[in-house]
Amino acid sequence: MKKRIRTLLIVLGVFVGIVLVPVLVAQLSHQEPAPRPAIRLDGLTYEEIRFENPAGGIGLAGMMFVPAGSPPFPAVVIIHGSGTSSRENSWYLTYATYLQRNGIAVLLPDKRGSGASAGDWRKSSLEDLATDTEAAISYLSTERPGLASSVGVLGVSQGGMIAPIVAARSPDLAFAIDVVGGTIPMHDLLRYEEQHNLAQMGFLPGVSHGLAYATSAVNRWVVSRDFWSAIGNFDPMTYWRNVDVPALVLFGDQDTNVPSGRSRDRLNALSRSSHRGLLPPKG
């Protein structure tokens, strides 16, 4: 009996060592990358705006970045990624100021439930959030006539998954840009992201792959149940199939949040079936 217990303890110790020692080593050797200079809202040129989303019954706010010169200008509505989004978010300010300097008007809204915008993104489907972008597009045509010669959308991360919803429902849209928004179902995307989060913590590949199923389930059904109930079964391809406006989709080979290859392949399969050739093959 004692021998069996000793053997069991040895096996358990080896298992714990295999699982946890790589994590400990990774954490001890981890170094944070040097922070990059961030664009700050102070000193930027923009207008405060407010508009309504009648479909959602909420008031929204945002910023209008108008270029120098005489209108009309091409215009872009930016679509936020996941989570709460501060006005100081350098991602969006980088896009807005670059486009503004290059003669493009930019409507950068406060995301639903963030800044001065009402509502709650945590309980909203991606289709619900798409109506916020549609309201921003409507604002440009009704409240700012003559400002925009054409209007497109630029979605970042999860916003890139909302972009095809807007494009499929807005035939007059000039273009849609998806920046690293995946084309796979949301629950698959969560598991992919969890697997890479665990790998970055130091878990070995097989371990991180297995644990990702458990951590994804905890996220979906415990930690953020309302959020994942609203968006968990969303599949962007449902809308990409109906997009008939010019579209630019950008992925990164080393993205640990989005499976770029799989996302590209899904779009390429769609383009082959419709003979549109959305994306070039890898290589």
Domain membership of residue 1 (yes or no) is no
Residues 116 and 238 in one domain: yes
pLDDT tens across 203-216, in order? 777 777 888 888 88
Of 77-86, 148-157, 217-226, where does mean pLDDT reach its minimum? 217-226
Which CATH number goes with the domain that contains 256? 3.40.50.1820
Look at residue 134 in the predicted model and tell me its pLDDT: 98
Look at residue 272 in the predicted model and tell me its pLDDT: 64
Could you list the residue range(s) of the whole structural domain that residue 74 is in?
Answer: 47-185+234-274
Domain membership of residue 23 (yes or no) is no
pLDDT tens across 129-169, in order? 999 999 999 999 999 999 999 999 999 999 999 999 999 99
Return the HEC string of 51-98. EEECCCCEEEEEEEECCCCCCCEEEEEEECCCCCCCCCCHHHHHHHHH
Domain membership of residue 270 (yes or no) is yes
Residues 179 and 219 in one domain: no
Integer Cα distance of 29 and 235 in angstroms? 38
Q: Is the pLDDT of residue 125 over 90?
A: yes
Domain membership of residue 252 (yes or no) is yes
Residues 180 and 194 in one domain: no
Residues 98 and 174 in one domain: yes
What are 266's two structure tokens? 């899904």
Residues 159 and 221 in one domain: no
Domain membership of residue 64 (yes or no) is yes
Contact 107, 213 (CB under 8 A): no
Residues 158 and 250 in one domain: yes
Residues 143 and 209 in one domain: no
Nearest CA to 267 among 245, 239, 240?
240
pLDDT tens across 88-105, in order? 888 899 999 999 999 999
Q: Is the pLDDT of residue 127 over 80?
A: yes
Domain membership of residue 34 (yes or no) is no
Contact 77, 137 (CB under 8 A): yes
Domain membership of residue 5 (yes or no) is no
Residues 77 and 209 in one domain: no
Integer Cα distance of 229 and 118 in angstroms? 21
Residues 119 and 258 in one domain: yes
pTM value is 0.84
Residues 159 and 109 in one domain: yes
The count of structural domains within the chain is 2
Residues 123 and 206 in one domain: no
Give the pLDDT band of residue 274 (cuts 50, 70, 90): low
Domain membership of residue 25 (yes or no) is no
Residues 68 and 124 in one domain: yes
pLDDT tens across 36-75, in order? 567 888 889 999 999 999 999 999 999 999 999 999 999 9
